[in-house]
Structure 1
Amino acid sequence: MGMKFDPSMLRSYFIAGTQDIKDDRTIGEVLKQALEAGISAFQYREKGPTSLTGDAKLKLGRNLRALCTDYQVPFIVDDDVELALETNADGIHVGQKDERVTKVIDQVNGRLFVGLSCDTAGQVQIANETAGISYIGSGPVFPTGSKTDADPVIGVDGLAKLVTVSKLPVVAIGGITEDNLKELPATGVAGTSVISMIAQSDDIFRTVKAMNAAFAK
């Protein structure tokens, strides 16, 4: 059994894979800095034409998993049940275009918590009625460059509406920067999840501190 889900895990949620590191650092080095800086969760999302597969992906997953264990921060895998189970992940995150979330819930059988991406009220309502989902990821809130297949921007108002509909804690995603971060607590989200804001930060400590300060309870 991994860590039990807690909404505070969503405060400063870092998502990354090798494709998101744009300089000569390794993803392990970036993650270690982010963990030192105080991120509340990490999701390993290896997606894109340059990303790792097979044994290389599993090996890296295990290494990143071990780093998260050292810092007692939950390790979440994006959309790969097999990898999540093989790395002893704490959670798995599923998108609307991925395998059906009900199938994933059955496969992980209570061993991992499950997060689901929802960007419409209809999707949130279905999630509300689905036993076994712990949290919802909603966005993109702002225009984003990290995901080539990103959905239309929902904006801060759209995000606030989804939070109102949701019975589950919501984490915001998409185009979040240190400048627009302060617009998000008023929506009622539990925190923010980011890729490039941390992966391409010129000062990871400052960035993560800003994320945690915005949602200091």
Structure 2
Amino acid sequence: MGMQFEPGMLRAYFIAGTQDVKDKSKTLQEIAKQAMEAGITAFQYREKGPGSLSGAKRDEMAADLREMCSDYEIPFIVDDDVDLAIKTHADGIHVGQKDERVTKVIEAVGQSMFVGLSCDTQEQVNIANHIDGISYLGSGPVFPTGSKADADPVIGVDGLAKLVQASQLPVVAIGGITEQNIVELPQTGVAGVSVISMIAQSDDIFRTVKVMNETFEK
């Protein structure tokens, strides 16, 4: 049995894969370790797009990051890959709307891990409200983003607030979040923020993670 889900895990949620490391003098492991040291509350391994690893290299990276998360006692979440999630004994799995159906994923992982689902429209939130076995929703992109090539239209702070209101589950915001615009998010009712480049390309990971944690201190 993995870690039980708690909404506090969404406060400072870091998503990354090899493709997100732009400074080649650093490794993903080094960045992830710094982020954990700095106090992130969850880590999602998302290996996708140009420059990403596959096969044995990806499995080794996942195993490394999994072990690190255990050491720092933070949940290790796998993006959209049931086999990898099971193989690494992940605490959670995150599913997008374009991925395998969430009900299938819930069946496959059973009680062994928690499930997060991306929901960017009111309709998607309403459907999620009626599915047993989802722990949290990820909603966005709140602001314009460069990290995902296939990013959906920006929903904005008001759009995010409407989704939070409609959702029966805790929501984590995603998309284009920076140390400057993060201050606009607590008023929407989200439990926290999930970020890729805000941490992966930060010039000071400790400062960045501190900002995330302090913004959502309850």
**TM-score of the pair, normalised by structure 2:** 0.99
Gaps of 5+ in 2: none
Paired residue type of 2:4: K
Q: Deviations over 1:113-166 (max 9, x none)?
A: 000000000000000000000000000000000000000000000000000000
Matches within 5 A, 1:174-213: 174-213=175-214
CA separation in 1, counterparts of 2:173 and 2:98? 18
The structure 1 segments of at least 4 consecutive aligned residues displaced by more than 2 Å after TM superposition are none
1:110 Cα offset (Å): 1.2
Query: Residue 42 of structure 2 corresponds to which residue in structure 1?
Result: 41
Query: SS of 2:50's equivalent?
Result: coil
Q: Deviations over 1:90-131 (max 9, x none)?
A: 000000000000000000011110000000000000000000
Query: SS of 1:193's equivalent?
Result: strand
- CA RMSD after TM alignment: 0.4
Query: Residue 17 of structure 2 corresponds to which residue in structure 1?
Result: 17
1:182 Cα offset (Å): 0.3
CA separation in 2, counterparts of 1:53 and 1:204? 27
Q: Deviations over 1:151-207 (max 9, x none)?
A: 000000000000000000000000000000000000000000000000000000000
1:49 Cα offset (Å): 2.2
Task: Give aligned pairs, total.
Answer: 217
CA separation in 2, counterparts of 1:151 and 1:212? 26
Answering whether residue 147 of structure 2 is matched by residue 146 of structure 1, we say yes
Percent of counterpart pairs with the same letter?
A: 73
CA separation in 2, counterparts of 1:54 and 1:134? 29
Query: Residue 2 of structure 2 corresponds to which residue in structure 1?
Result: 2
**TM-score of the pair, normalised by structure 1:** 0.99
